[in-house]
Amino acid sequence: MEITAILQDVENGVAGAADRLASAVFADLHRIAQAAMRRESEGHTLQPTELVDEAFIRLVGQKNISWQNRAQFFAVAARTIRRILVDHARHRLRQKRDHGIRVTLDESISSAPDRSLDLVALDEALERLDAAAPRQARVVELRFFGGLEIDETAHALGISPATVKRDWTFARAFLLRSLEATA
Amino acid sequence: MSDNPLTPTRLERLQALFEEALEHPAAERAALLETLEPGDEYLRTEVLALIKAHELGEDQFRSPVSASALIDATTGEDRWVGTRVGAYRVVRLVGVGGMGAVYEAARDDDQYKKRVAVKFLHRHVGSEPALARFRAERQILANLNHPNIAALVDGGVTDDGQPYIIMEYVDGLPITQWCDEQNMSVHNRLSLYLQVCAAVQSAHRSLVVHRDLKPGNILVTGDGRVKLLDFGIARLMTPDGDVAMPLTVSGSRSFTPDYASPEQVRGLPVDTRADVYALGVILFELLVGYRPFDLRGKSIGEIEKIVLETEPPRPSASITEARASLIGERSASRARAAVEGDLDAIVSKAMRKEAERRYGSADLMAFDLQQHLIGLPVSARPDGVGYRMKKLIRRRKIETAALSLAVLSLVAGLVATTMQARRAEAQSRRAEQVTDFIATMLGSADPASLGKDVTVREVLDSAAAHADTLASNPELEAEIRSVIGSTYMGLGEFEAGEAQFRRALDAHKRRVPGGDYATAVTLTKQSHALEYLGEYAAADSVMKTASVLIDRFPHKDPLEYATFLDQRGRILARLGKNQEAEPVFQEALDVTTKAAPGRDSLLAYAYVNLGFVEAELGKFPKAESLYVAAITSARRAYGNEHPELAAMLSPYASVLEYAGKSAKADSVYLEVLAMRKKLLGEDHPEYAWTMFNYADYLLGKKRYPEAALWSRKVLALRGKTLPDTHMAVSTAMGVLGRALGPMDSLAVAERALRESLELRRKHLPEGHWAIASSESILGAHLVLAGRYSEAEALLVPAEKKLVEARGEDAAVVGDARKRLVLLYTQWEKPQSAAGWERKLKSAAGP
């Protein structure tokens, strides 16, 4: 399969390989998500990690593939999902501004403590974290956007599960704090 | 944070300190950090802030990744934009909120550019029974008819199980923002706020609790009108919708904590008084500019503690200098003076921790605000003489400058005020009792006490049983039974509804034996129920009593009066008394046009009812234009596929038929048949009527085999969904008979026609025109069979009765005369035939 070759390239640091992988993942995520929606309407909710797993299985198959490969794939998938969602959130924001819409139908959209996270602000905060603490930022990306568990994240980044746990706790607090400060 | 660049080293240090501090008990952290990092105050504060953020818990940091989010994002646009929902096409996303995404949508056809808001709820409705319940509950919300409540236009479930509701689109600002932008005075804010109370009260009377009142749900439109959004939506949102649609949900916390009452925060069942609490918070915010409790960034535990234990501050004490100008006052002290006392007391009473110590209803709160606005004592304040005097003096100051009369008027005023207060107390007490009762009903719907499957029907049944205990207070009993009855009607439980109205009337009789305005209103409702049960004669006599009562009152609520007129007219028309019904419907249309311009659904009814009698009276051009007006309004109100629309298209088709526009009539018939079959199912009585009408039309077009086919379909429902009392049975039998006649099945036809006549004689009041019409039709059949003298014995008296009942010009009279002409021609009595021919022509002439 072509994708294994791309993964090999990614592993060997071939220029542009990560981008090629990302676009393959991107195309497939959409199809997977659509299939998942049908299942969701039957009461089955797909977890983010299953989504990425499924993308992996569909793109790569369950052939023998080194952990390094698998970890690369997850990293790219998580990064891709992050980009897709954040771009979309930004697009929505822009649309709102363009139309001069006042969001009046439901106040909880913008203000308030427990509402859904502002992805655009989160992305910006994550960039800031990335600048000073890239490892912690990778942990967030894999856990938050890729849906990986502690152990899988540890494998993917080649660090200990304990470190992942500590980084995750800290990074989460850091991001929440940043969101609060910008709100 | 921005003024302290985060270098990798500092961040590492931050993480280390954070982890270290987390290991220690909260109380020791500050001291610990002081020792570990004495030089860097910024880092120390940051660590504590991080810990606070950390304690908000993982709940705050749920992954945004879901299948639907990815679809939306990967298609580059929204998954709903451009799709069709009901009769609407989704135009754009307006916002995404706690309960789901909100879109603007427009009618799918170009004809009516009606804007609506579509909300997709975060909830799936899977099974058929759950769906049916969703629809039933939605119907109750649809009946919330109040100018200050954004109307629920429609609601349903998309093919893939996504429930949605469609609401009137409201372009407005949250009430707090609107008031601030206008620098509104306290007085004007209160006046506006009274609209909010009225809307909430009206919903509570229909047994709907909002549960999530907040400024974002209370908008003010450009023309200064208040519109409440999302009424009852919280209930549609209940999580275990696949199992039941409980009225109250324990343990669910889909509310905004800032406006949530203590019982909501604790996850206990809520009733109308949770809304009163929220109203208190909103009034506070409207006056002060911020909310009584600052819950930002607090954990669930902290929020609980604050809402359950902390007393809210007094609004007057919370007004800042900056605020004063926003509420149109020159200084904070002036602003505080305007709020101090009454308004402090009113907010405090609305926000009591214990529900039973709050205002029993939004009405009672509004009453106090009104008292305050006109300078009279409010119930929320201690009843001391000193307070009353102070009030009075202030009031006098406003009202009169005649200082020399001050003493005298003070005494007079004191008496008047005391009396007023006493009357107010009596009024409040009753309103409070009604609300308490409703609250108990909603409270008793606690899933824990009644089992999981609590439906509106069950709550009503238990409320109806509970109402027996109110016998000692007939006024209260009448009001409550009337509410219960209307709710039964909303659920389509006509018999149960009628029983409640009957008992409400018993209570009225104990209260005022001769009856009064309230009695007339209840009688109107009872008549409506009887009509739905097919008992027209009883419905008619009820309306006669109501008419006598209502005519005694010169000042009537216009919408209530329109309802009354509509009911009276409808019963008259049902009984064939169209001459009498015509002016009644005309008045109903006039009243409605004046009282409710733009209320399309109400207008549509007023048009269609008048159109109906005009058609019955043979005034087809007039009827046709009334129907066109009705259908235009109905399409605007309901879209292109709706039971109400079908109910209007159906008679419109008949009118077109009579007006000789056959091609158009045929296509309208087929539209209605298709719509009804889809909406109602094949067994439904309304569908039966449509089939009958079509059969009758086909008969008129001499398409006999088709006419027989469709009337047989109607008769197949006899004894199943159509009782013999239903007009459709006898009428369809008649059509079948007449269709079979020309098809040479004379004996079968005669049997059908005779049975039709017998049914009508049995179930209609004596002298009803429809009996005469049946006799005339049977007579015509006997002409075909060559039994002329038998025919004559039926046709001659039938014509006479029809003229008496319907007048010379009625279409049925013309038909009867044509049959007489046919009889005498066939019988070879040309003189008599010519005589009837002349009568026929002179009546038909211009």
Contacts of A87 in chain B (CB under 8 A): 73
How far does Cα B219 stand from its chain's mean position? 19
Choose from B7, B42, B43, B65 for mutation: most chain A CBs within 10 A. B65
**Helical spans, DSSP H, in B206-271:** 233-236, 262-265
CA-based nearest residue to A105, from B12, B236, B435, B117: B117
Q: What is the DSSP letter of B581?
A: H
Contact B74 A29 (CB under 8 A): yes
pLDDT of residue B580: 92
CA-based nearest residue to B218, from B172, B257, B182, B258: B172
**Which parts of chain A register pLDDT below 70?**
1-3, 11, 13, 15-16, 18-19, 23, 26-28, 30-69, 87-88, 90-117, 181-183
B212 tagged catalytic: yes
Q: What is the mean pLDDT of chain B?
A: 77
Please compute Rg for chain A using Cα positions: 18
pLDDT 10s digits, B257-286: 788 899 888 877 778 889 999 999 999 999
Catalytic residue among B212, B258, B275, B540: B212
Nearest beta carbon to residue A107 from set B65, B171, B215: B215
pLDDT 10s digits, B518-547: 899 899 999 989 988 878 889 999 999 999
* A118 near B CB under 8 A: no
Bigger pLDDT: B515 vs A183: B515
CB neighbourhood size of B786 (10 A)? 11
Q: What is the mean pLDDT of residues B616-629?
A: 89
pLDDT 10s digits, B636-681: 887 887 777 887 887 888 788 878 888 888 889 888 888 888 877 7
CA-based nearest residue to B424, from B495, B482, B374: B374
The pLDDT > 70 percentage for chain B reads: 77
Sign of CA dihedral A14, A20, A22, A28: negative
Minimal C-alpha gap between A59 and chain B (Å): 17
B150: alpha, beta or left, given left = phi > 0 and alpha = psi -120 to 50? beta
CA angle B713, B677, B632 (to 5 degrees): 120
Chain B residue with CA closest to A134: the answer is B8
Contact B74 A30 (CB under 8 A): yes
pLDDT of residue A160: 92
pLDDT of residue A66: 64
pLDDT 10s digits, B479-489: 778 877 877 77
Contacts of A114 in chain B (CB under 8 A): 59-60, 257
Bigger pLDDT: B361 vs A32: B361
pLDDT of residue A99: 36
Minimal C-alpha gap between B393 and chain A (Å): 43
Rounded-to-integer distance, Cα B359 and Cα B349, Å:
7
Bigger pLDDT: A126 vs B68: A126
Contacts of A84 in chain B (CB under 8 A): 70, 73-74
Contact A103 B215 (CB under 8 A): no
CA-based nearest residue to B449, from B605, B250, B284, B188: B250
Q: Tell the residue number behind the tokens 């629309």, with chain if given.
A: B645
Residue B55 has pLDDT above 50, yes or no: yes
Chain B residue with CA closest to A146: the answer is B65
Contacts of B11 in chain A (CB under 8 A): 129, 132-133
Residue B3 makes CB contacts below 8 A (sequence gap 6+) with: none
pLDDT 10s digits, B555-604: 777 778 888 998 999 889 888 888 999 999 999 999 888 877 777 878 88
Chain A residue with CA closest to B173: the answer is A104
Instruction: Provide the residue count of chain A.
Output: 183
Choose from A83, A107, A168 for mutation: most chain B CBs within 10 A. A107
What the block records as the tokens of B656 is: 């077109």
Residue B182 has pLDDT above 90, yes or no: no
Chain B residue with CA closest to A93: the answer is B95
Minimal C-alpha gap between A45 and chain B (Å): 9
Contact A119 B217 (CB under 8 A): no
Contact B68 A37 (CB under 8 A): yes
CA-based nearest residue to B816, from B801, B831, B826: B801
Scanning B3-22 for CB atoms below 8 A from A yields 6-8, 10-12, 14-15, 18-19, 22
pLDDT of residue B344: 92
Q: Tell the residue number behind the tokens 């109308």, with chain if given.
A: B272
What the block records as the tokens of B83 is: 């799709």
The SS3 assignment for B799 reads helix
Bigger pLDDT: B578 vs B119: B578
Phi, psi of B136 (to 5 degrees): -65, -45
pLDDT of residue B533: 82
* B94 near A CB under 8 A: yes
Beta strand B88-97 with B84-85 is: antiparallel
Rounded-to-integer distance, Cα B155 and Cα B134, Å:
9
Contact B216 A26 (CB under 8 A): no
Minimal C-alpha gap between A131 and chain B (Å): 8
The SS3 assignment for A97 reads helix
Residue B213 has pLDDT above 80, yes or no: yes
Q: Tell the residue number behind the tokens 């009274």, with chain if given.
A: B194
Contacts of B59 in chain A (CB under 8 A): 114
Least trusted range by pLDDT, from B93-102, B130-139, B221-230, B479-488: B93-102
Query: Measuring CA to CA, how many Å separate A106 from each of A110, B166, B536?
Result: 9, 15, 47
Choose from B70, B123, B285 for mutation: most chain A CBs within 10 A. B70
Cβ atoms B15, A133 nearer than 8 A: yes
* B485 near A CB under 8 A: no
Bigger pLDDT: B798 vs A99: B798
Query: Measuring CA to CA, how many Å separate B641 from each of B150, B315, B617, B655?
Result: 22, 51, 29, 21
pLDDT of residue B423: 45
pLDDT of residue B744: 61
pLDDT 10s digits, B322-345: 888 888 787 888 888 888 888 999
Rounded-to-integer distance, Cα B663 and Cα B810, Å:
24
* A144 near B CB under 8 A: yes
Nearest beta carbon to residue A174 from set B12, B50, B68: B50
What the block records as the tokens of B561 is: 């009066």
Contacts of B50 in chain A (CB under 8 A): 170, 173-174, 177
CA angle B752, B758, B760 (to 5 degrees): 105
Query: Measuring CA to CA, how many Å separate B503 from each of A140, B528, B550?
Result: 66, 15, 20
Contact B1 A178 (CB under 8 A): yes
Contact B67 A113 (CB under 8 A): no
Contact A117 B61 (CB under 8 A): yes
Q: What is the mean pLDDT of residues B118-124?
A: 63
Contact A177 B162 (CB under 8 A): no
User: Listing from the earlier edge strand, what are the strands of the sheet with B152-157?
Assistant: B84-85, B88-97, B100-107, B115-121, B163-168, B152-157
Scanning A9-68 for CB atoms below 8 A from B yields 26, 29-30, 32-34, 36-38, 40-43, 45-46, 48, 51
ipTM: 0.78
Contact B50 A170 (CB under 8 A): yes
pLDDT of residue B844: 53
Chain A residue with CA closest to B150: the answer is A105
Contacts of B296 in chain A (CB under 8 A): 113
- Is the model's pTM score more than 0.80? no
Nearest beta carbon to residue B70 from set A84, A106, A180: A84
Cβ atoms B389, B375 nearer than 8 A: no
- pLDDT band for position B462 (cuts 50, 70, 90): confident
Show the 3-state SS of B13-28: HHHHHHHHHHHCCHHH
What the block records as the tokens of B84 is: 């069709």
Residue B764 has pLDDT above 70, yes or no: yes
Contacts of A83 in chain B (CB under 8 A): none
CB neighbourhood size of A26 (10 A)? 19
pLDDT of residue A166: 94
Contact A84 B75 (CB under 8 A): no
Q: What is the mean pLDDT of residues B375-390?
A: 57
Choose from A82, A105, A153 for mutation: most chain B CBs within 10 A. A105
The SS3 assignment for A146 reads coil
pLDDT 10s digits, B368-382: 888 788 777 777 775
Bigger pLDDT: B811 vs A57: B811
CB neighbourhood size of B482 (10 A)? 24
Contacts of B123 in chain A (CB under 8 A): none
Choose from A106, A117, A124, A143 for mutation: most chain B CBs within 10 A. A106
Minimal C-alpha gap between B266 and chain A (Å): 17
Scanning B124-183 for CB atoms below 8 A from A yields 124, 126, 160-162, 170-174
Query: Measuring CA to CA, how many Å separate B478 from each of B168, B348, B494?
Result: 33, 32, 18
Minimal C-alpha gap between A47 and chain B (Å): 7
Side chain identity at residue B335, one-letter code:
A
- pLDDT band for position B17 (cuts 50, 70, 90): very high
Least trusted range by pLDDT, from A16-30, B126-140, B751-765: B126-140
Q: Tell the residue number behind the tokens 């305007």, with chain if given.
A: B338
Residue B434 has pLDDT above 70, yes or no: no
